[in-house]
Amino acid sequence: MSVSTGTGPAAPAVASPSAAGSLRRQCLFAVTILLVEDSRTASEAIRLYAAESGARVRRADSLTAASRHLAIYRPNVVIVDLGLPDGDGIDLIRHLASAPTPLTSIVAISGHERATWQAEAMAAGAAGCLEKPIPSLRVFQELVLAVLPDAESRRRPDERELLLAGRATVRAALEEDLLRARGLLADALPAGDADTVAYCAQFLQSVGEMLGDLDLATAARGAGTPVGAGLLTRMVEARLDRRPGRHVA
């Protein structure tokens, strides 16, 4: 992968999120974030957290798209999902951390249990890790503050919790994710494409966990058999049928 990273500060020591202090509006003012994430649902949640904090987000939904962004743009923070449609996010983290002018404020994110991937992500060069669904705005802010080289110079926020807003936008993002998964499954199941089915299962498990849809997440975990994959497909269809304004004859 050919990625230009520009110039930047030397790598900081990995900070603990608890060292970043408490949260406030605009505590990440002017911070730029590249989010490498294939799920619109997860991306929209992170975008809303970032907007509440004053940060600006660009999104890439694949390694290829991330490479195009990074050829012309050097963000303050890169958040990399580990399960991407065209490769492993660990490879991107390793590339960014080992470049001649490395990007050091890298955050790994995954919907899988952190214990199964955190050590590999940190060894590859991540400065912090987030597990989806991100439990609160506080967790997001403190983690991003902790990986920024100038974290200690930022003013500390007042102690308070803020609600995740923009429900209509999140619904639109969920619909896009479900339509994408339905299309992939429709092609993969008749062809016996186990790799694409496994990718869709991981993708939908992450979406379900992000939104608290435990039935969808559980079905995705059991999609390794033809019966399980069929059940997952029917659950996707059922959720699309429940869209506002959708009329089923």
**What is the spatial distance between Cα 163 and Cα 145, in angstroms, rounded to a whole number?**
19
pLDDT at 38 over 90: yes
**Residue 176: both structure tokens together:** 């896009």
SS3 108: strand
pTM of the model: 0.63
pLDDT at 10 over 60: no
DSSP string, 137-150: HHHHHHHHHHHSTT
Q: Name the residue with tokens 């991003």.
A: 144
pLDDT of residue 72: 81
* Strand extents, DSSP E, the chain: 32-36, 56-60, 77-81, 83-84, 87-88, 106-110, 128-131
pLDDT of residue 177: 85
pLDDT of residue 243: 67
Domain 17-153 architecture: 3-Layer(aba) Sandwich (3.40)
Averaged pLDDT score across all residues of the chain: 80
**Residue 46: both structure tokens together:** 């992170």
Mean pLDDT confidence for 171-176 = 77
Mean pLDDT confidence for 23-31 = 75
pLDDT of residue 149: 83
What percent of the chain is modeled with pLDDT above 70?
78
pLDDT of residue 214: 84
